[in-house]
Amino acid sequence: MVLKRILLGVLVVFIGGAAFSYYQLRSLGLIPRADYETQAPEVPAFTRPAILVHSKTNGFIHKEAIPAGKAMLQRIADENGWELYFTDNAAIHNTQDLNKFQAVVWNNVSGDVLTTEQRAALKTWIENGGGWVGLHASGGDPSYQWQWYVDELIGAQFVGHTMAPQFQDAHVLVAESMPGITAHLETPWVVPAEEWYAFASNPRDKGYEILLTLDESSYITKGETFFGQDRMEGEHPITWRHLQGEGRVFYTAIGHQAATYSIPGFQRMVSGALSWVGMPTAP
């Protein structure tokens, strides 16, 4: 009888521990989800140029970076006289609603978030002249189910990031000094305590314009870690842009840490990127 009680107690503890671990992993987004919205939110009428800021997470949740990115984008919008619309509802990716915006920002979106119809609407909107900006995790997920997004919109498959240690200072090099986007940055630009992504290939090979690269000798890489590769052969791009049909696309892999969104140089780069993809500059 005593043995049965002990075994029952052990079983209860085990089940409780497993449930707690599952909850913790799910709350961080380490267990991918398949949550899709089909009912779009009510989008107001805008009186000024507007940006859709989308932050849906069906994968890892950047709990600090997402609100920091929203705050940065709000500051940029206020400086330029733009309006912002924040939502986690992916059903806003429909033809009628997308046409209300001059630009779309995916702020640390992760996992597979769009239905087939929503994918088609976003692809068509961009290729017909829309402007898209992706921040950090929006290009850093190994499990996206939409190959066009990986191969063409981002242009490269994420394969891992630094893990030992995860957050490190690194030298970011200006590959193209573009007025309004990267011309204000010194090279090397020392970005503190960030998580550095690696990709399976270099988007330059597809004709994409590489704006910033990493000096891998300025931080610690291990090659293969338990979270994939943390280095690349040859040039290591970290920020780039390209034309997608008649639209414009900008992506930066910088931005895991909330503090990064308060760096003036980073804010200025994102502001310039938004202007480049189609937002009118302040008079």
- Lowest model confidence (mean pLDDT) among 109-123, 168-182, 220-234: 220-234
Is the pLDDT score of 172 beyond 70?
yes
**Cα 83 to Cα 64: distance, rounded to the nearest angstrom:** 23
The mean per-residue pLDDT over the stretch 104-114 comes to: 97
Query: Are the C-beta atoms of residues 167 and 194 closer than 8 Å to each other?
Result: yes
Residue 147's pLDDT is 93
Global confidence as pTM? 0.90
> Which of residues 28 and 52 earns the better pLDDT score?
52
Residue 171's pLDDT is 98
Residue 32's pLDDT is 73
**Cα 1 to Cα 5: distance, rounded to the nearest angstrom:** 6
For the purposes of burial, counting CB atoms within 10 Å of the CB of 268, is it exposed (0-12), middle (13-18) or buried (19 or more)?
A: middle
Q: What does CATH list as the number for 48-277?
A: 3.40.50.880
For the purposes of burial, counting CB atoms within 10 Å of the CB of 146, is it exposed (0-12), middle (13-18) or buried (19 or more)?
A: middle
Is the pLDDT score of 227 beyond 60?
yes
Residue 108's pLDDT is 98
Question: Where does the pLDDT of residue 142 fall: very low under 50, low under 70, confident under 90, or very high at 90 and above?
Answer: confident
The per-residue pLDDT of the chain, averaged, comes to 91
Is the pLDDT score of 117 beyond 80?
yes
- Tokens encoding 217: 């000798």
The mean per-residue pLDDT over the stretch 162-185 comes to: 97
**Cα 100 to Cα 71: distance, rounded to the nearest angstrom:** 22
- Name residue, tokens 């915006």: 101
- Tokens encoding 266: 């980073």
